[in-house]
Amino acid sequence: MRSILIALVLASTSLPTLAACPAGAPGEPMHWVIAVCQQRNESDEIESPKMQSCIFATAKANKIDPAKPSAKACSAKLKLKAEWCRGMKKDGLIDSVDGCVRSADTVPDVVTQGGA
């Protein structure tokens, strides 16, 4: 299972995103999936069973397959960023979910670092 997850993450870093996206949603959709799961689980251990389950379920729910770039990648990233921003607001780290989604400065490390 771990090797499948690692392969998915690596594949997501090497495939181009088909849809251009606003500066506020850079990176690859799979990286946003990981960011959301890290936030939900308060963990960056992507190899843990709980994180793997979250990553696969979140990717599936958002119709993200890193092996098949989608024309809807931008909308998926924006949807995932909104979810991530809601978590930030819930934790009292931001004032506005809408402002967070639009901001190019509010991006999780896993996205800015290309999944690393």
Q: Is the pLDDT score of 67 beyond 90?
A: no
What is the pLDDT at residue 53? 97
Within-domain flag for 46: yes
> Domain range for residue 101?
2-111
Within-domain flag for 15: yes
CA–CA distance, 84 with 57 (Å, rounded to integer) = 16
Helix axis angle, 29-41 to 49-61, nearest 10° = 130
Within-domain flag for 116: no
Q: Is 54 exposed, middle or buried (CB count within 10 Å of its CB: 0-12, 13-18, 19+)?
A: buried
What is the pLDDT at residue 116? 67
- Identify which of 3-17, 29-43, 101-115 has the greatest average pLDDT: 29-43
Instruction: Over range 25-52, report the average pLDDT.
Output: 95
Number of domains in the chain: 1
Query: What SS3 state is found at 5?
Result: helix
Q: Is the pLDDT score of 16 beyond 80?
A: no
> Residue with structure tokens 């890193």?
66
| Mean pLDDT for all residues in the chain | 84
Q: Please tell me which residue, 16 or 69, carries the higher pLDDT value.
A: 69
